[in-house]
Amino acid sequence: MTSKVILVTGGSGLLGKAVQHVVNSEQLKNVDETWIFLSSKDLDLTNLSATDEYFRDTRPTSVIHLAAKVGGLFDNIGCNVEFFNQNMHINMNVLQCSHKYDVQKVVSCLSTAVFPATAPIPVDESMLHASPPNDFHFGYSYAKRMVDVMNQAYKRQYGRQFTSAIPCNIFGPHDNFAIDKCHVLPSLIHKTYLAKRDGTPLVVLGSGKGLRQFIYSLDLARLFVWVLRNYEEINPIILSVGEADEISIKDAVDVIVETMDFRGPVQYDTSFTDGHMKKTASNKKLMAMVPDFKFTPFKRAMKETVDWFIDNYDSIRK
C-alpha cells in the first residue's frame, strides 16, 4: 500500500502533463507515491463546496497546485477583473481545503509576472512584494502574489508547509495554442504553421526585440518534483534557465521558422506593444541547491514541441 497521495491540479495542462510524464519515468518514479492528475473537466476549483468534497474523498498528502486562469499579454490587458477573481477563488479554495484535510505540503505555481514592473534586473525572490507589478496584467499578478501571502499566513498561524515556485515562460507539448489567448511561443508556432499552410506572411506582434527566458515544460516538471520532495522553505523559489539563456522574441521566431521550414516573409507589426522589453529572473538560488541540473537546449526543446504540435494538430487546444 502506498503511503503518499499526490494531487496535481491543472493536471491536463501544459505543466500537468509534463509532470505526469516525468513521474512515470524511470529516473523519477517512486513506488511509494500515488499521483492523481485533476483537470478542470473533473472539478471546478472555483466552487468551494465541490473542492471540499473532492479533498475529503481523495485525502491527498501533498498537492502540486498548477490550476489557474492563464492567457497571453493581450488577453490579460482586457480581462484583469476576470483573471483576478477566478485565480483568487481557485487559490483560496485549494489552500483552505489543503489545510482542512491536513495536506502535508503544497507547492503552488506562480509566474514571473508577479514581480514589480520597476524592479532592478535580474529580479530575485526577495523582490516579490517590493512594488506594483506591470499594469498590463495586474489582476493576474496580484492574484498570484496573494498565494505567497496565504502561504506565509498558513505557516505562521498553523505551521503549514505551503510554498510556491516561480517559473519563467513555459513551453512544450500539451500547451494551449489558441492564437489570441495563449502565450507567445505557442502563438508563434501556430501562426507559423498557418502561414506555411496558407502561403501567407508570418505576422509577429511587436518589434521582436523583447528578451525572455523560456523553460521547457519537461525540465520544469522535473524541478517541480524536486521542490515537492526536497525544498523545505516557505519562501518561493524561482525555477528558470539562466540569464545567459535569455533570447529575444525575434531569435525565438527564427528558431520556429527554421524548425517548421517556413520560407515565406516574416513581418513585425510594431503598432503592438512588446510588453516588458526585459524581465530577467535570477536562478541563483535554484542553482545553489541543484548545481548539476541540466536544461534542455532551446532548439531541441522547440523541435520536440513543434513535432508534437504537428502530430496532434487535429486535437490540440487551438
- What are the angstrom distances between the C-alpha of 258 and each of 176, 252, 265, 306? 22, 10, 13, 11
| Length, in residues, of the chain | 318
* Active centre residues (catalytic): 140
| CATH number of the domain to which 167 belongs | 3.40.50.720
Residue 259 lies inside a defined structural domain of this protein: no
Residues facing 268 on adjacent strands: 204
DSSP single-letter state for residue 177: -
Distance CA 13, CA 37 (A): 10
Residues 148-174 as b or e (16 or more Cβ within 10 Å = b):
bebbeebbeeeebbbbbbbbbbbbbbb
Question: What is the distance between the alpha carbons of residues 213 and 249, in angstroms, rounded to a whole number?
Answer: 10
Rg (CA), the chain: 19
Domain count within the chain: 1
Segments of the chain with pLDDT less than 70: 1-2, 71-78
Residue 195 lies in a domain: no
What is d(CA 148, CA 286) in angstroms, rounded to the nearest whole number? 18
Residue 53 covered by a domain: yes
User: Residue 196 falls within a domain, yes or no?
Assistant: no
| pLDDT tens for each residue of 125-181 | 999 999 998 877 889 999 999 999 999 999 999 999 999 999 999 999 999 999 887
Q: What is the pLDDT of residue 117?
A: 85
> Which cell numbers in the block locate residue 146?
496573494
Give the whole-angstrom CA distance, residue 156 versus residue 166: 21
- 0.85 exceeded by pTM: yes
**pLDDT at res. 315:** 94
Containing domain of residue 35, as a range?
A: 4-174+213-243+280-296
How many Å apart are CA 112 and CA 214, to the nearest integer?
A: 11
Nearest to 267 by CA among 162, 188, 161: 188
In a domain, 202, yes or no: no
Q: What pLDDT was estimated at residue 183?
A: 84
- Check: CB of residue 276 under 8 Å from CB of residue 142: no
Q: What is the largest CA-CA distance in the chain?
A: 60
Is residue 160 assigned to a domain?
A: yes
* 256 assigned to some structural domain: no
Considering the domain boundaries, does residue 316 fall inside one?
no
Terminal Cα distance for the chain, rounded? 41
Confidence (pLDDT) at 77: 65
Name the grid cell of 43: 472539478
3-state secondary structure of 83: helix
